[in-house]
């Protein structure tokens, strides 16, 4: 927990919040505050609370085939939303419900999970297999980036000085689409020691789009684009699921830490990839 908060501000506009942050001070934007609560720093800081900026919208826009989520929307609110639970087979709400405990989800925000990405983050793999874009505000202007490029080195410093406004998820317009999120942790409420998300769009049993992301490797989540390319055009079968598991373990950049060894992560990636593909196969084929 931060030990030396000198000032706490409630700005009334994005411009005011940005101006406060850009002064000669060690300041942080906060919404839920769960990320900064983990900090042990004793250096003086200023906190800029975004709670008054009305960035907590949540909408399934059927006309535009899109989900719009404000950056300060609490994760538990997304889990509880009936409309969110009705799209993509409930993937988003069911996956986010696996993050930590109820108090953590009830305090943590979706935007905060993106702007301060921990290596064990579940949110990044969950969102990276969807068509997710992030809009942000900076004193030099507003912009939008897809999630895959949000952490590029050329953008990191600007992200740290920006306010994420909302997260937009485009829904697929054709084919049978299903997604699956799996995590491995020491307990139900512990952070992930490995996590994996997969989304496939299938037409007549053949994969025409594939996304696979692995996190807590122990590095932050990243998509396995070479495997995604291999899956496109293939028939979704049990044999393919097993083959994909082997490929994922070979292609993913994995390491070891105090939670899991590199070798055990490879074993888990192989198993979890195959499991995710088979669960998706059952869903798109309406199998029991």
State the DSSP H helix or E strand holding residue 69, giving kind and residue range, or none if neither. Answer: strand 66-70
Going by C-alpha positions, the residue among 261, 270, 204, 265 that lies closest to residue 241 is 270
pLDDT of residue 156: 77
Terminal alpha carbon distance of the chain: 47
Strand partners, 141: 138
Q: What is the pLDDT of residue 173?
A: 72
Compute the distance between CA of residue 2 and CA of residue 129 in angstroms, rounded to an integer: 34
CA distance 139 to 129: 30
pLDDT tens digits in sequence order for the chain, 288 residues long:
556 778 889 999 999 999 888 666 678 888 877 666 655 656 668 889 999 999 999 999 988 899 999 999 999 999 999 999 999 999 999 999 999 899 999 999 999 999 877 899 999 999 999 999 999 998 888 999 999 888 887 787 788 788 999 999 998 876 799 999 999 998 888 899 999 999 999 998 999 999 999 999 999 999 999 999 999 999 999 999 999 999 999 999 999 999 999 999 999 999 999 999 999 999 987 654
- Among 188, 169, 184, residue whose Cα is nearest residue 214: 184
Question: What is the distance between the alpha carbons of residues 32 and 111, in angstroms, rounded to a whole number?
Answer: 9
Predicted pLDDT at 141: 83
| Euclidean distance between CA atoms 167 and 149, whole angstroms | 14
Q: Beta strand pairing status for 163-170 and 131-138?
A: antiparallel
pLDDT of residue 288: 41
CB 99 within 8 A of CB 185: no
Which secondary structure element, helix H or strand E, spans residue 30, and what is its range? strand 27-30
Can you list the domains of the chain with their CATH numbers?
5-49 (no CATH), 58-170 (3.30.465.10), 176-284 (3.30.390.50)
Spatial CA neighbour of 265 closest among 274, 255, 273: 255
Residues 88, 146: Cα–Cα separation, whole Å: 19
For residue 114, give the H/E element and its range: helix 110-115
How crowded is residue 55: how many other Cβ atoms within 10 Å of its Cβ? 21
Distance CA 135, CA 124 (A): 16
Q: Both tokens of residue 242?
A: 């097993």
């Amino acid at each position: 927990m931060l030990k030396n908060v000198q000032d706490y501000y409630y700005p009334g506009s994005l411009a005011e919040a940005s101006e406060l942050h850009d002064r000669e001070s060690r300041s942080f934007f906060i919404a839920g505050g769960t990320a900064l609560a983990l900090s042990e720093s004793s250096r003086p800081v200023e906190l800029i609370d975004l709670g008054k900026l009305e960035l907590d919208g949540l909408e399934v826009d059927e006309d535009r085939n899109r989900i719009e989520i404000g950056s300060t929307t609490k994760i538990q609110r997304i889990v509880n939303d009936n409309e969110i639970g009705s799209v993509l087979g409930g993937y988003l709400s069911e996956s986010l419900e696996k993050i930590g405990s109820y108090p953590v989800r009830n305090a943590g925000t979706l935007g905060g999970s993106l702007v301060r990405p921990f290596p064990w983050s579940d949110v990044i793999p969950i969102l990276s297999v969807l068509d997710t874009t992030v809009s942000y505000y900076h004193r030099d202007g507003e912009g939008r980036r897809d999630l895959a490029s949000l952490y590029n080195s050329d953008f990191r410093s600007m992200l740290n000085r920006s306010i994420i406004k909302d997260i937009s998820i485009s829904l697929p317009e054709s084919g049978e689409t299903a997604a699956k999120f799996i995590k491995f942790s020491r307990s139900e409420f512990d952070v992930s020691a490995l996590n994996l998300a997969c989304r496939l769009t299938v037409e007549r049993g053949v994969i025409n789009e594939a996304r696979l992301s692995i996190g807590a490797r122990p590095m932050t989540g990243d998509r396995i684009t070479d495997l995604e390319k291999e899956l496109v055009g293939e028939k979704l079968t049990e044999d393919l699921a097993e083959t994909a598991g082997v490929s994922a373990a070979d292609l993913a950049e994995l390491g070891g830490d105090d939670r899991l060894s590199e070798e055990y992560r490879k074993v888990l990636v192989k198993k979890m990839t195959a499991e995710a593909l088979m669960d998706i196969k059952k869903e798109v084929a309406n199998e029991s």
